[in-house]
Structures are given as C-alpha cells and as structure tokens.
Amino acid sequence: MFRLIRLAWIPVALMLGACDVQVHDETPAEYPANHDIGMYEIKATVTRDALVTPGSVFLFALGNNQRIPLSQEGPEWHGLYSVRCQGSFPLQILAEWKVQGLSVRHKLVPLQPREIKLDEPSLSYSASFDSSGKPPKGGWVGSVQYRFVTVPSAQITAAHIEPSSVAPADVKAAKAISVVTPLPVVAGCGDLAEIRLATTDPHAHGTLVIDTDHPAPTMAHWQTRVEFSPK
C-alpha cells in the first residue's frame, strides 16, 4: 500500500515541477554613463515549463523604487531603466506567471540586487586656443571645460600646469601659462566646470593637471594637453 501511495505521488511531483519559469538576466554588468538620455537597457530571456499558461508571463525590472514593465520582443524582454547622477544602480527582475488551474506565481532574480556600474565618461584630453594678433590686457585666455555625471556634485580642488617634457623649450612654454580660475570649482551633476588659463606667450603649451574629489579613481587626477597658437 505504501509503495502504491508513493507511486501515486510521482505524477503530482512531475506536474509541480513543470510549473516554473527560468529567468535569465542578460543586462550588461556596466554601461558608459549617458547623462543626456539617462536611460539604460534592461534585457532578459525566459524559459517556461509546460504547465505555465502561454502568454501569462510578465517581467518587471526593480530598483531605486522603480517597477519597470519589460516588453517581449521575440525570445527577449526589454525595458529602459531611468537613472542620473549615480555611479551604479541596483537591479532585480521580477517574473509573474500563471499555472493551469493554479494561482499566480512570482520569482525574483537574483535574490539580492545586482549593481550595474555606470562609468564616468572621459574628460577633455586636449584643448587649443587662438593666440593671434596683439595680446589683450592680461594675455590670451582659454577655458578647459569638464563635466561629471555619475555623482550629485564634484569639486575641482586643485589645478596646475606641467611641462609636456623636460626639454628647456617645453618647460619655458609651460611656465608661461597661469591658472586664473579661483579654486575650488564646484560642479553640479551634468554642469560644465571651467578652468581658465592665461598667457602672454603666443606659443605657450603644457599639461593642465586637475585634482578632484570624485570617488572614481580614474577621476581623482586628470591631465589635459593645452596649447596656445596663432591661427
């Protein structure tokens, strides 16, 4: 009798085992931060068992108090996650589905949120300024602009000019450039921060080195090649 009872449970167990969906989060682990759009694609795929009602599966992206419906496009599900002024965002995929003759079921993948990294775009690598004609009072002036988009705000705490090489001509050309912007410079997220330079040498050039309080190691110090030349 006991053996018959155990055999009778086998179809039930098989039925219960065919009521699940498998969710595969295929969202990349990181994106370049895009402040202008501020939207990042969420992507997932789903495999459903035989007893899951066709057309009953729904996916949602969760994170930062957002619940974003994902749209099915063939075998894939897509949605757009909105975030600005952060270096990362948490992500989980919530699946909801119906089983024939049973109630709605849910699954959260993964159990703990993933952190999707947002990489700060590179700052200015080079800048050139026109030094044609007679120098104005105070010399020719040029501005180098920087923008930070993965923090609410950032400060440029220091700035100075270094020669591009140890050659005497390069050392002289760098000494001719002065940083005239009062420091620190505070930049809100997405705002342009400006470092103004001045020189009386029409061929001055060097490397502008800035220090910031940005938490990303690549943003703590930045070098921009600067050059004044007649056009």
Q: Is the bond preceding residue 184 a cis peptide, omega within 30 degrees?
A: yes
**Residue 150 sits in the same domain as residue 84:** no
Same structural domain for residues 78 and 41?
Answer: yes
Domain count, the chain: 2
**Among 61, 88, 119, where does a domain finish?**
119
Buried b (16+ CB within 10 A) or exposed e, 36-66: eebebebbbebebeebbeeeebbbbbbbeee
Indicate the pTM of the whole model: 0.83
Write down which residue in 119, 144, 169 finishes a domain.
119
What is the per-residue pLDDT for 8? 37
CATH number at residue 159: 2.60.40.10
Co-location of 173 and 212 in the same domain: yes
Domain that holds residue 61: 2-119
Domain boundary among 87, 119, 151: 119
Specify the pLDDT at position 38. Answer: 94
* pLDDT confidence of residue 59: 97
Same domain, 100 and 185: no
Does one domain contain both 93 and 130? Answer: no
pLDDT at 45: 96
Low-confidence ranges of the chain (pLDDT < 50): 1-16
- The CA distances from residue 131 to 63, 142, 217, in Å, are 51, 9, 35
Residues 102 and 136 in one domain: no
* Cα–Cα distance for residue pair 23/43, rounded to 1 Å: 11
Q: What is the pLDDT of residue 48?
A: 86
Instruction: Give the model's pLDDT for residue 14.
Output: 38
Whole-number pLDDT of residue 98:
87
